[in-house]
Structure 1
Amino acid sequence: MRILLVEDDAAIVSALSSLLRSEGYDVASCAGQNEALALAEQGCDLALLDVSLAQGNGFATCAGLRAANPELPVIFLTASDDECSTVTGLDLGAVDYVAKPFRPRELLARVKAALRQARPPAHVLTCGPLRLDPASARVSRDGREVFLSPIEYRLLLALMGAEGRLVTRQALAEALWESGGSYLSDNSLNVYLRRLREKVEEDPSHPKLIVTVRGLGYRMGS
């Protein structure tokens, strides 16, 4: 995933670039509108824009990026957190608006959420008797529909989308953050996992589908 960072504060560019690269993202950065539009032509999966730039402004940059690629997710990252600026950014097609100073883990969660929304899983996910269709948000077990709450659904989607790979508790919290609006405590995450298991496991006290990897997280079994 390639992220375009448009910011004229060198210290923020350095810190954010290091943070994003530590999570495996490729980062291209610039300080002005014209350079941002030129870099975007080389391809990017998400843009982080400041409103105040060395040349041009974030709103015009957002409009230009969205005109060239209407599907590109844009997140505004700025000290201008007043309602008018927020509404303007969202009206231009931005998917999120983060005010400075920001918490690094929260920003990463917002980036991941925006990328998930932009590229939802297109194929039906299966695990043993479970079937999850992201296109319709329907879950079934042995052909019978399972009715989940929005948070339970997001939790199961994060687990099944990993296709058997380990999903850490931090990653699950970030997946649930998108719908809950804030990070969940460990106790809350445990509650949602227990409720989900009660709905999808044959024997919730001995889960075989949502398997605990002690001290690390969870993975889907079979």
Structure 2
Amino acid sequence: MKHIFFVEDDLSLISGLSFAMKKQGYEIAVARTSTEAKNLWKNGKYDLVILDVSLPDGSGYDICREIRKTSKIPIMFLTAADEETDIIMGLDIGGDDYITKPFKLAVFLSRINALLRRSDNFSEKNTELNSNSIKVHLLKGEAYKKGKELDLTASEYKLLCLFMKNPDIVLSQEQILGKLWDCEANYIDNGSLTVYIRRLRTKIEDNPSAPEKIVTVRGMGYKWNTVGCGL
């Protein structure tokens, strides 16, 4: 049974969404304030976090940042803030999805199922990826370059895993967006993907200005290049 950590201060929304998620077979832990959320997080084990951005005593963004210090757990932002800058910031600090109010319940539940499914796919037990001096421990959600741990956001980590699981295969921008974000959403576009790839390159490439690991295939997409590269 999957355990969902739900941080929201609207009682009517808590009641309705908690009921719907429980009907899907999920266990729900609810926090209505930032302080309560921090305490519950320390004392519980969860498979997914749903965060409202605006809380009476703080911000869901701050909670996300704290969680990302120790965990790769999927995080969904649930909020009325639909400005592009808010959405990009939420994803950039480690969020995996962003749904704005009002929304359809079926869409909300579908996005939860998709996040949990992708999380399972990226957490294969007793498995590691190793190429181009990069090693990823999938069970632990950790990545290393030449033995030194990389400080990656959740999205950067999943992007790296996707490339390393498909060595020397050209992945189109649409394929990458679809694999990582089920992307028909307007807030993740090719421009945003370019930003993610540039930031990942700064962390894994010896020379980000002349990348050798994640290479651009003009007019087609990107490729994890292992030709001529050792472990």
Tell me the TM-score range normalised by the shorter chain: 0.5 to 0.7
In structure 2, what is the equivalent of residue 60 of structure 1?
Answer: 62
- Measure the CA separation in 2 of the matches of 1:58 and 1:107: 18
Task: Give the structure-1-normalised TM-score.
Answer: 0.55
SS in 2 for 1:80: coil
* Secondary structure of the corresponding residue to residue 9 of structure 2: coil
Rounded Cα–Cα distance in structure 1 between residues aligned with 2:61 and 2:111: 19
When residues 119 and 88 of structure 1 are mapped into structure 2, their CA distance, relative to the original with a 3 A threshold, is same
Displacement, 1:34?
A: 1.9
Given the alignment of the two structures, is residue 181 of structure 1 paired with residue 190 of structure 2, yes or no?
no
DSSP 3-state at the match of 2:30: strand
Return the letter of the residue paired with 1:24: G
Per the alignment, residue 2 of structure 1 pairs with 3
SS of aligned partner of 2:4: strand
1:14: Cα distance to partner?
A: 0.4
Show CA shifts across 1:170-211 (max 9, x none).
xxxxx99x64638xxxxxxxxxxxxxxxxxxxxxxxxxxxxx
Listed as ranges, the matches of 1:69-218 within 5 Å are 69=71, 71-120=72-121, 122=124, 136=165, 179=182, 181=184
Relative to structure 1, the CA distance from residue 50 to residue 179 in structure 2 (aligned partners, 3 Å threshold; closer, same or farther) is closer
How many Å apart are 1:136 and its aligned residue? 4.6
Closer/same/farther in 2, CA of residues 58 and 119 from structure 1, 3 Å limit:
same
Residue 4 of structure 2 aligns with an amino acid whose one-letter code is I
CA deviation profile, 1:40-80 (whole Å, cap 9, x unmatched)? 221111111111102211110111111131x1111000000
Q: Counterpart in 1 of 2:128?
A: none
Report the CA distance between 1:38 and its aligned residue. Answer: 1.6
For the aligned residue pairs, the C-alpha RMSD in angstroms reads 3.0
Whichever residue aligns with residue 11 of structure 1, its letter is S
For residues 25-47 of structure 1, give each alpha carbon's deviation from its aligned partner in whole angstroms, at most 9, with x where no partner exists. Answer: 00000111121122122111111
Q: CA offsets per residue over residues 145-173 of structure 1, 9 Å max, x none?
A: xxxxxxxxxxxxxxxxxxxxxxxxxxxxx
Cα distance between partner residues in 1 of 2:79 and 2:96: 14
Alpha-carbon distance in 2 for matches of 1:122, 1:115: 13
| In 2, Cα distance between equivalents of 1:180 and 1:84 | 18
Q: Which amino acid aligns with 1:100?
A: K
Q: Structure 1 pair 44/77, CA: closer, same or farther in 2 (3 Å)?
A: same
- Tell me which residue corresponds to 1:192: none
Instruction: Figure out how many residues of one structure are paired with residues of the other and give that number.
Output: 139
Q: Which SS does the other structure have where 1:117 is aligned?
A: helix
Q: The residue matched to 1:90 in structure 2 has which SS? A: helix
The structure with more radius of gyration: 1
- Contact 1:37–1:65 (CA under 8 A) maintained in structure 2: no
In structure 1, distance between residues paired with 2:183 and 2:39: 36
1:12 and 1:56, CA in 2 relative to 1: closer, same or farther beyond 3 A? same
Per the TM alignment, residue 109 of structure 1 is displaced from its structure 2 partner at its CA by: 1.0
- For structure 1, the 5+ residue unaligned runs are 124-133, 138-174, 183-222
1 CA distance for matches of 2:40 and 2:120? 21
Give 5+ residue unaligned stretches, structure 2: 126-161, 167-177, 186-231
**Could you say if the C-alpha distance between residues 33 and 68 of structure 1 is closer, same or farther in structure 2, counting changes exceeding 3 Å?**
farther
